[in-house]
Amino acid sequence: MNALRGALERPTPLALGLALLLGACAAPGPGPADVSSPSRYWGQPLDPAGAASATPSGVAEALPALPLTPQALEQAAARAVDDLNPDQPMVDFQSPEAQQDLWQRLRARLVLDNLDGPRVDKWETFYAKRPDYVDRMLERGSRYLFHIVQEVEKRELPMELALLPFIESAFNPESQSHAKAVGMWQFMSATGKDFSLKQNLFRDDRRDVLASTRAALDYLAQLGRRYDGDWQLALAAYNWGMGNVDRALKQLERQRKPRQYALMKMPNETADYLPKLQAVKNLVLRPDGFGVQLPPLANHPYFLSVNIAGDLDVELAAQLAGLTPERFRQFNPQMNKPLILAAASPQVLLPYENAERFVGALADYTGPKASWTALQLPKTMKPAEAAKWAGMSEAELREINRIPPRMNIKAGSTLLVPRTAQRDHDVSEHLADTAALALAPDAPARVATKVTVRAGDTLSTVARRHGVTPAQMADWNKLSLTTRLKTGTQLTAYLAPAKKTVASAKPKAPAKAKTRPAKVTQTKATTQRAKVKG
């Protein structure tokens, strides 16, 4: 740090590099956030400039004037690092390498054979007709592309893989498909867990920019090895699944055909996958042909990882960094709650200029840093009862913990609750990793009832007669689903209590005098129809 202090005291190239590293001109800021409207726990919406429209009282006083003091710069250098090069956090933005065009660096490393044909033409036309969509996609990608390019190079993989988030999610880390694939790289839950992407009440690492990129490239590298460097097969497996691709290849073997992507029988989505990637590749190589202009991208990191020592409200973190909560979430979309857990997410990502401000502001901030903590429910409760136990309104409990109507909360569930003097603690690492919310339908209590087996009954007919399932009947009576029942046997069924009927208090109407019914004449045809209906 003495060398750092000396560099700050004299105008040397290193000092200039440090100032640019932590200064406001470190990276071009994108436009307005492209996210959906937040709940009230994520703060106010964006203004047209993408900045916070107002700073709440108590935070403005904590924000230091910029530029920061040499001591604050030292602290920033110690706590804010380039995640890709943690041992070399200093970036000289004036170096020739940093001034290179990232798009040119990417183009120079595109090595896979090109495809052509009607499917490629279809997707080229798709992008050419949607310049606004392409612009939004490119703007989002500009935040994360340097990091992905670095990671692809580090693994010595084809650079085409850096373009996959364009076709997977349009570079939206909060994207979720109809099939429940999530994040920039569209991980299904099980596959994400296979690659150590945590998914629980507080976080979903499939949305985490760093973690999901690491997992996706590890997975793609694994697929590349599995298919002996045939990247067409590897990419088909990334989209369709290894099992499906393996079965399609075995079918080709039985037909005595070569193991080729183009010969596999596959769904349209997978058949379009590589042509779509080729169309994006062509767009990057020849943007003029698509009527778009690639945003200028410098060849240096866009964001830093900043360490946090304790739990921190998301809204406060965003304010201290000079960002709206929505903009903050663009870099930290994995957080499911309005609380950053130091035990689960000890780092946050911030653009360079905001990292500088955040580190200094957080060090100077003396107010409460977290207004929430987590507790486990000691027994199964209705939401109203749990809200009273937690000291908050039922509406607030439901919103913050996303509890749907007509559901009870099971014992052992983790709930986010307001901090008080008696429970002013950070969430433990164990709870941060295992937190879960278990719900059960708010059904009326069931009563054990004896039911008698009739002649010809099976568990299915008994269950159907009493409005339960055969599996429930088997479980309650310790029987298998195929057990033969003896007539007259009594079984136990847990049934909803019968509704009580209340006798009507209305006085009976006086009996009407009997009158002889009118004589009705029916035709033969009418009589026959009546007999048929009966």
Active site residues: 168
Closest CA to 427 of 281, 534, 533, 313: 313
- The H or E element containing residue 303 is strand 303-307
Q: Are 204 and 333 in contact (CB under 8 A)?
A: no
Q: Are 91 and 17 in contact (CB under 8 A)?
A: yes
In three-state secondary structure terms, 43 is: coil
In three-state secondary structure terms, 101 is: strand
> What's the CA gap between 210 and 304, in Å, rounded?
11
> Over the Cα atoms of the chain, what is R_g?
32
> What's the CA gap between 170 and 147, in Å, rounded?
16
SS3 sequence of 259-302:
CCHHHCCCCHHHHHHHHHHHHHHHHHHCHHHHCCCCCCCECCCC
Pairing of β 312-313 and β 339-340: antiparallel
- The H or E element containing residue 317 is helix 314-320
Count the neighbouring beta carbons within 10 Å of the beta carbon of residue 491.
Answer: 20
> What's the CA gap between 116 and 285, in Å, rounded?
15
> What's the CA gap between 359 and 380, in Å, rounded?
42
Dihedral sign from CA coordinates of 102, 103, 106, 107: negative
Closest CA to 273 of 150, 186, 178: 186
Written as six digits, the tokens of 398 are 């439901």
On the question of a cis peptide bond just before residue 338, with omega within 30 degrees of 0, the verdict is: no
Query: To which residue do tokens 């559901």 refer?
Result: 407
